[in-house]
Amino acid sequence: MIVEKRLAHILLRMAHFDRRGARETTIAKVSHETLAEMVGTTRSRVCFFMKRFKNSGFIYYGPKGKLLRVRRALLAFCGQ
């Protein structure tokens, strides 16, 4: 759970979310390997959590998978 929340915080920081603003923000897609290095875990764990975030509706991939959209609802997951 700690790694999952760390990943969520990193995605929110990359999307420049604060307590006000848009419902979702688009960021350039980052590789799972890069995210794993930032979080301090393995790529397979990041892949697992990203899939969970996607299935929960917190994130989704844009056309052709080149953009990553982060939804504001991820803030609630982090407890902010």
pLDDT at 16: 84
Burial label, 47 (beta-carbon count in 10 A; 0-12, 13-18, 19+): middle
How is the chain split into domains, by residue range? Answer: 2-78
**pLDDT above 80: residue 22:** no
Judged against a pLDDT cut of 70, whether residue 19 lies above it is answered with: no
Highest mean pLDDT among 28-32, 37-41, 75-79: 37-41
Question: Is the pLDDT reported for residue 27 higher than 80?
Answer: yes
What is the fold of 2-78? Arc Repressor Mutant, subunit A (1.10.10)
pTM equals 0.86
What mean pLDDT do residues 74-80 have?
Answer: 80
- The predicted structure's pLDDT at residue 20: 65
